[in-house]
Amino acid sequence: MNRAVLTFNSGSSSLKFGLYEAGPAAADRLMSGEIEVLGDGQSRLHASDTHGHTLADEAVAAATRHEPVERIARLVREARLPPPAIIGHRIVHGGPSLRHHCLIDDAVLHGLEEATPFAALHIPPALAVVRDARAHFPALPQVACFDTSFHAAMPDVARTLPLPLALRREGLQRYGFHGLSCESIVHQLGSNLPERLIIAHLGNGASVTAVRAGRSIDTSMGLTPTGGIPMGTRSGDLDPGILIYLLRERGFTPDALEELVDRRSGLLGLSGCDSDMRSLKEAARPGSDARLAIDIFCYCLGKTIAAMAQALAGVDTLVFTGGIGENDASLRAAVSQSLAWTGAALDPSRNERGEGRISTTASRVALHIIPSREERQIALHSAALARTP
């Protein structure tokens, strides 16, 4: 029996939500929307129904940003949509003890609180939404869907960090993230799933994942979502000696280091002006720091895709997804050009249209744009876990 599932997807700069009619094998969207932080303290709520008709498009007060569940529940009522029977949450990191999607009870909530140090940028806002939802819908089952679950079976050679055994036993390993996005790509490819797939999830957070026969075998992010390629405000991988230098010579505290690598680095730190790729494109004059930031992002992305191709011993399909991956034609063109040595050949007109396959028919690597459907994956998992006997 299908049931209405209200999903919450807390990111580092937004809260996406959706209402789905979901059953064991399918989830049909009834409504979707987002509360997006735009900068300078401004936020906006927009939502649409299954036909694309606007249900809301409004500036959001600070109180709504911090306590959004009531506003979204009211939106469902105003649109006369089915009331939710299940609540599903995207949780970026569950730490070493929570690796599989599960129903949320007090013990799971405690485990999520203990996992906060693994993703300090993401877990606190997600926990705030979980608590808000549990208070607003106390009788409904709540489900935690972890971004790390898709990567839980990575081979030892990919997930093991070169640290002493005692530290590794404390859970210090490569976890990988954007797992729900990767799941959604695998699900959408269906019978066309290739043996060797690379998924480039490019947004304010960005990662690259190598998928063999539908299973993650390596990914660019590590212990936390700060690792990998440079992102909107996150540094990506750094020489650990830089952090030691800042601690020893500059007197940085752990909190100051966290602020630096999570909120002041990446595209923002490189450009000195913005973390949003759209704004950087407008400011990217030759020789400018904005231009350098974009070039470094593309360079690191190309190197990381090449590394994942090595892990897979080749690549059959490369998928671009996420806000940047789905919408930035010039970035896709630049990265695809850097990968010409793999036999990847971009079709410029298809790329500009931004539709499905964007490679030429002669390309040895199939290049695709596939929208990330994390909320649909949350709805599917939530419906399955909350199904009554």
DSSP for 52-108, written as a single string: --EEEEEE--HHHHHS-HHHHHHHHHHTTPPPPSEEEEEES--TTT--S-EE--HHH
The structure's pTM equals 0.94
Q: How far is the C-alpha of 19 from the C-alpha of 80, rounded, in Å?
A: 12
147 is annotated as an active-site residue: yes
pLDDT of residue 1: 73
pLDDT of residue 39: 62
CATH for the stretch 3-146:
3.30.420.40
The domain ranges of the chain are 3-146, 193-369
- Range 193-369 has CATH code 3.30.9.30: no
Give every residue of the chain whose pLDDT is below 70, as ranges. Answer: 12-13, 38-41, 62-66, 388-389
Place of tokens 């009211």: 74
Q: Which of 106, 147, 218, 239 is catalytic?
A: 147
pLDDT of residue 42: 75
Q: How far is the C-alpha of 154 from the C-alpha of 174, rounded, in Å?
A: 9
Q: What are the helix (H) ranges across the chain?
A: 62-66, 69-78, 106-114, 123-136, 156-159, 165-168, 179-189, 240-249, 254-263, 266-271, 277-283, 289-312, 322-327, 329-338, 348-353, 374-385
pLDDT of residue 63: 58
